[in-house]
Amino acid sequence: MMARSLLMMTLVGIGLMATMPILAGLDRPSVAADQSTGNDAADSGSPELQTHVEPGQFQLRFPLAWQVEQHQDGSISITNHGTDDPERASQATDVLTEVRLVQEHPQDYVPQAIETIAENGYQVIHYRPVVVDERSALRLWMAELPDDLANAMTTYVGYASYGTAVITSYYGEPTAEGEALIEQVHDSFQLVFD
């Protein structure tokens, strides 16, 4: 019940109260929602971060060793490993983060995204409201995805008429340290107007 009410608070915060019936198709998370804000990623022992800016769109911070690939649609992919070798097998420590701005209002986009998660049968193991770029956001953790990187963390940040930021990180073996770093990357997202 607590997990459901936290999700409702988040949906109210980003203007999605009317979409609650769409959540009926999702399994209740097997892990109770955490009551923290999600902004307390581990500071001690964290790697040095760099800021990447997509002019006129967004910026975010991630470890210096990670590599960025820009796409023609304005989205980016960030990996903690090289993508030059197509023969390379995925490792348990791999992380692939995709960042994009969707031109749809969060009230329209987020329910569609949740519906797609439910239709695909993805296991949502945890969700909670967070604050990103001084805005209410929704963060979901998923497991057992049909890919080498079988875990994912997605953050939806609503910007009303500007659209919705979608930050998704796919990763191998979930660890507290790895997920804290991924949250730190997600929490650093900011819309840029210059």
CA gap 97, 159 in Å, rounded:
20
The pLDDT tens digits of the residues spanning 68-88 come to: 999 999 899 999 987 666 777
Domain residue ranges of the chain, discontinuous segments joined by +: 2-191
- pTM for the structure as a whole: 0.78
Question: Cα torsion for 135, 183, 83, 90, to the nearest 10°?
Answer: -140
Task: Tell me which of 3.40.35.10, 3.30.70.20, 2.60.40.10, 3.40.1000.10 is the CATH number of domain 2-191.
Answer: 3.40.1000.10
C-alpha angle 171-174-175 in degrees, rounded to nearest 5: 125
Residues 14-72 pLDDT 10s: 454 334 343 444 443 433 333 333 334 444 567 899 999 999 999 999 999 999 999 99
